[in-house]
Structure 1
Amino acid sequence: MKPAYVYEALNWASSFLEKKGREPRAAELLMKHHLDKDWTDFHLSRRDKLSASAWEAFAEDVRQHGKGVPIQQLRGYEEFYGRRFHVNSSVLIPRPETEELVQGVLEWIRKQNLSTLQIADIGTGSGAIATTLALEAPNTTVEAVELEEKALAAAEENASDLGAKVTFFQGNLMDPLLQTDKKYDVIVSNPPYIPEREWHHLDPLVRDYEPKQALVGEEEGLACYRKIAAHLPALLQPRGLAAFEIGERQAEAVAAILQTALPAADIEVRRDLNGKQRMVFCERNDV
């Protein structure tokens, strides 16, 4: 039987999701999406009548989330740095830790005395990093690389919809960039870093619905860092910055990889808002 009011539908959904082992608050996120309201109007609408079409769409999404489908894929988007990015099963859902990585890069950029900076985003996925940097730091030229064709299409769509000027290349890690003589002031990456042995222990919301190739890295999750680091001497400017998101137990290993590639570099490991070591910043100082 269809609930007559928004609050009745929310009560049903919260109870349903809790029984399925899901976060009850997901009901609010999905209802807000289907009502197409901001948070203030959404909270004021709890005693509004609920149309049959809104109820049917909402109830179906709640059932799908109960089965494990991420909310972001049901909505078709995720918020990142105050902007809405389209997501699908071909791209990694943007996460708050990555916003902190972007914030760290932006802080570094704003301290530089350059009229323009060249930025490369390696493994761009949804394009969240590249697009955000292009929009937040307009004195930059941003290029982004992505191996998977469907992910690349999503990144291009996001950049276009948000009005960001980003040049995209399809290829594996640094390969497309090595075809030119360019050097970059910033090289940033959120590469696959989860060890294969941890894959089966991930939350099913992640393991079963997000692309494994964007999550799992070879060599205990360190392979991409080694491959990128090997090309930093050729591609990173003498005073440039390389910035990476990492797994919470990888700080020491990634810092060592970068120090070996750039012995004179200043390496800084940073913690996220939860106090976990999730970022490594490498500032080249060898010239």
Structure 2
Amino acid sequence: MQFTKVYEALNWASSFLRENGRDENAGELLLQFLLKMERSKLLAELRESLNSEVSEEFIDGIKKIAGGYPLQYLIGFEEFYGRQFFVNEEVLIPRPETEELVLGVLTRMRKFYKDEVVEIVDVGTGSGAIAITLDLEQTNAKLYTVDIAQESLQVARENAETLGANVTFLHGDLLSPLIQQGIKVDIVVSNPPYIPEEDMLTLSTVVKDHEPVRALVGGKDGLDFYRRFMEEIPLVLKSKGIVAFEVGVGQGDQVAALLHEAFPDAEVEVVNDINGKDRMVFAEIGF
């Protein structure tokens, strides 16, 4: 099977992906990548010829995507906060909900810190999307980022270098590198693993079979990492500070309760995402 025209390839891909329960738009995105074209140019050239090499590569890629392989790993990047981040199977694919977490941190920084230098740690950085975005969006921020996997840190370093971000990378478990070095920060932000063990079975094959399990599962009820954070954050947070978490749907009140217990005087807020689901929890401490 081969296609001679762009529109033929796209029509087949759309139908094939739909039949396999996948996103039909993936065909257009893959072909844009293979032809190195913007969407507007691709759509203007629907009746142009497609060479056999690109046609074969496109068919092979669409079959992989139909089988559950993430498009982002196939093309090697995902968009986040208007920037292109390199991704591979060692890191989670950045998601739009996490952009809302970043925006929440930036909003609170600008409210409480004005032009002061703000020290931030992003814990469990993966691709580095949170830390790098905060560094590039806020010139008065000093970013640390931690991950337990050297493979993930390598991806994050590559993204920081490509995008021109100035981030300090630390290897270790949660906040232990900061505790050991006596580093204090103003803000702790994290999108930790929060999926309950049993729920892994119900996830899409795209996620559970390809994205790193270490970045997904948060113990029996999904809250293991948040509990550990409550023990470690007091050791690294300055007297005034902000804690910002992404959480799983339905976990907002539970994580808020953990923060209230650890920081009785904190202003804690559960924030819904654009889809109306509890997705972020912020604690403002000592202000």
Q: TM-score range by the shorter chain?
A: over 0.9
Measure, in 1, the Cα distance between the counterparts of 2:239 and 2:69: 45
In the TM superposition, residue 32 of structure 1 has moved relative to its aligned partner by: 1.4
Structure-2 residue corresponding to 1:103: 103
Shift of 1:232: 2.0
Over residues 48-73 of structure 1, what are the superposed CA-to-partner deviations in whole Å (9 max), with x where a residue is unaligned? Answer: 21122221211111011111101101
Q: Matched residue of 1:218: which SS?
A: coil
Q: What do you get for the CA RMSD once the two structures are aligned?
A: 1.2
Q: How does 1:240-279 map to 2 (within 5 A)?
A: 240-279=241-280
User: Which runs of structure 1 show a deviation greater than 3 angstroms over 4 or more consecutive aligned residues?
Assistant: none
In percent, how many aligned pairs have the same letter? 48
Give the aligned residue type for 2:129: A
Rounded to whole Å, the distance in 2 between the matches of 1:230 and 1:174 is 10
* C-alpha distance in 2 between matches for 1:60 and 1:69: 11
Confirm or deny that 1:118 pairs with 2:147.
no
Mapped contact 1:237–1:284 kept (Cα < 8 A): no
Structure-1-length-normalised TM-score = 0.97
Aligned-partner SS, 2:221: helix
* Post-superposition offset of 1:150: 0.9
Deviation, structure 1 residue 21: 2.0
Q: How many angstroms does 1:216 deviate by?
A: 0.3
Q: Deviations over 1:217-265 (max 9, x none)?
A: 1141111111112122221122211100000110111001111111100
Spell out, residue by residue over 1:153-180, the C-alpha distance to the aligned partner (whole angstroms, 9 max, x if none): 1111111111100010110001101012
**1:181 Cα deviation from its structure 2 partner:** 2.5
Unaligned runs of 5+ in 1: none
Distance 2:24 2:220 in 1: 37
Q: Structure 2: how far apart are the matches of 1:108 and 1:38?
A: 35
Summarize the alignment of residues 272-287 of structure 1 with structure 2, pairs less than 5 Å apart: 272-285=273-286
SS of the counterpart of 1:103? helix
Residue-by-residue CA offset, 1:25-68 (whole Å, 9 max, x unaligned): 21111111112122222221222211222212111110111111
Q: Secondary structure at the match of 1:221?
A: coil
Distance 2:156 2:230 in 1: 24
Residue deviations 1:73-105 (CA, integer Å, cap 9, x gap): 111110001111111111000000000000111
Question: What is the 5 A alignment of 1:201-212?
Answer: 201-212=202-213
1:89 aligns to 2:89 (yes or no): yes
Question: Aligned residues, how many?
Answer: 286
Q: Distance in 2 between matches of 1:47 and 1:162?
A: 36
Contact 2:198 2:220 in 1 (8 A): no
Conserved? CA contact 2:175–2:233, under 8 Å:
no
TM-score (norm 2): 0.97
Give the letter for the 1:64 counterpart.
Answer: K
Give distance in 2, aligned partners of 1:57 and 1:138: 42
